[in-house]
Chains A and B, each alone.
Chain A
């Protein structure tokens, strides 16, 4: 039985915004810091569970939980960068191994502390909105917030001093330091920002679906696909990539088979890597 197109498109539009939020943190670290942070998914999970503990277990409002979802992962990312990554950031493969192992450690800790059953996070906005056959108010809010945040980031990167400093660092650390920019501090900012975004994405994802110890895995994989498709280091590319992948995912799940979740984006990733590794908006990356 075919689902109405408007419903599916509305769903795709909203989910893609969330995917973009997830991917942006990843592309920042990759584009600026030059490393693949495989703990990105775990950061998403940390965000979701921070919000869960603050709002459900300790009983504060979900908006305070949102604050926790911003701060705790940001702190975690900063600690990860300062404690582990900074020492080995010259060696991307070591970073990949270390972040991957960190991700496993985080997942296991959450699984042990919280259990295997999913955790429920309150919606930020309850109820239904009468657009396109009825969509959840929560999804609409998440959609709106995601765009606002992405917009703010874009503005910040391109128009504020710190933002431009980060941009400069991503192009040439030597050149940047010549004009007085400390690359180490820029990397730290990048990691913190990426952590905050991931955490927020975790909260949004958790409130729409549920939170569980393994919830960060598919966002991580999605981030790969989106970032490679959109091009390394390009925020614009990440957003566009997120929409392409988001639509592909939603349409595949709605019209082909809902068990194919995630498969579409993985296949896209492999095809892009084989055909045009620099993605749509990125730099040259093959010989």
Chain B
């Protein structure tokens, strides 16, 4: 069954209003026309006269080297989420250059770090687009940073292909004002609403076999998990799973004992989690405290194939959703990319790497197809593009659909992207552990094992 993203949940699919929690922020976004402003005629007059000093070019095609602007949270191998974005973009550029570049030009990559701060992200974005005049930008892991960039993207009118941030609020902005925000695309991951839907899919298909009849939902308190919470709250019960409790914990939480006490007290079989910015502390304490429940969900730190060594095996039997793994052949490009990345960096990438690589490759292909570097031409090309990337078939929703310019989520995996699920298992020789894909069946190389202490 091809799932084009329409959920049969009574039509309530705005994706960002958490039921029962009055969220000032989302109610503002819903009433975007409630904008009052002062018109400072005097200031504008002065500015207009000063404006003749520096004209800004919008929509002009850049020339010379083909520049890719990358915005990432942090770099350095000790920061795998951010580093994967930067190094993957560089890898893509190297491969493109080895094949003659793009439209006859060499590809260059310029990386700037946001430190996950919205204002710094915006300043760095402006440096990339205004000062360095890049062709397009990619990256951005933190949803709060992305949302702060949307107006800048609209103003600079250069394509941005998000690699990492999952908030559906971005695509909702396109629904309200397509012409203004049409330069934004999300190459991955599928947005948080679909991430949640995929979690429910996984639950429906597997929980009864896994022995997870009742779960406690534990999500980190950041923008991206709000739609996830909403989907889980509304749909897990229909999938036959009892929700024993739900908690949003502060990202900087350093002591999970009381939280785990509550999970244990609720009698849940597992903690069903959504953790991206945080998560290491949670799983390490879970392992040290030997809690009598299982642990799984979306756990980005655990996606790192070398994670076992980093946490002394605390991730054993942990389950996480992922975009791809170095061994799973989602497409013919997946494994070669992962190996090439390892060759370049020394470690395998996390999910953001696959997406950033795909973004650069797809944009280059679109520019070649359109035979133009003008952002408007490439936008048109991308909208109709169906590109084989490492994560699956990359297509984008159209302007009249629920989530314009968001990557298409396809449950069957045939004509869109679909996350896979893996579990960490100790190696048989007793030395370390490794990831085993457990779902979907076409990609699985093993099945779920219950932790021995549960």
Contacts and interface: CB of A to CB of B under 8 A. Distances in A.
A115 B249 CA distance: 22
Contact of B79 (A1, A115, A120, A209): A115
B252 to A, nearest CB: 8
Contacts of A136: 288-290
B257 interface: yes
Contacts of A128: 290
Interface string B237-261: 0000000010101101111011101
Contact of B254 (A56, A218, A254, A259): A218
A209 B290 contact: no
Interface string A10-27: 010000000000000000
Contact of A120 (B78, B261, B266, B311): B311
Interface string B308-323: 0011101000000000
Given A11-B257, A209-B285, A259-B249, A115 B76 contact: yes
A3 B262 contact: yes
B46 interface: no
Contacts of A138: 288
Contact of B258 (A56, A214, A215, A258): A258
Interface size range of chain B in the complex? 20 to 34
Given A120-B314, A138-B288, A3 B261 contact: yes
B249 A215 contact: no
A142 B30 CA distance: 51
Contact of A1 (B253, B259, B266): B266
A244 to B, nearest CB: 18
Contact of A261 (B253, B285, B289): B253
Interface string B12-33: 0000000000000000000000
A116 B79 contact: yes
Interface string B295-335: 00000010000000011101000000000000000000000
A24 to B, nearest CB: 21
Contacts of A11: 257-258
B61 interface: no
Most buried by A among B254, B259, B285: B254
A258 B254 contact: no
B281 interface: yes
Contacts of B301: 117
Determine chain B's interface SS by DSSP, over half rule: mixed
A118 interface: yes
B265 interface: yes
Contact of A115 (B78, B254, B258): B78
Nearest to A114: B78
Contacts of A122: 312
A201 B344 CA distance: 39
A192 B301 CA distance: 37
Interface of B: 74, 76, 78-80, 221, 245, 247, 249-250, 252-255, 257-259, 261-262, 265-266, 280-281, 284-285, 288-290, 301, 310-312, 314
23 contacts: A1-B245, A1-B265, A3-B262, A7-B261, A115-B74, A115-B78, A116-B79, A122-B312, A136-B288, A209-B255, A209-B285, A210-B281, A210-B284, A212-B254, A214-B252, A250-B258, A258-B247, A258-B253, A258-B259, A258-B262, A259-B250, A259-B253, A261-B254
Given A117-B78, A120-B284, A253-B255, 5 more contacts: A115-B79, A118-B284, A209-B285, A254-B261, A258-B262
Interface of A: 1-3, 7, 11, 56, 112, 114-118, 120, 122-123, 128, 136, 138, 208-210, 212, 214-215, 218, 250, 253-254, 258-259, 261
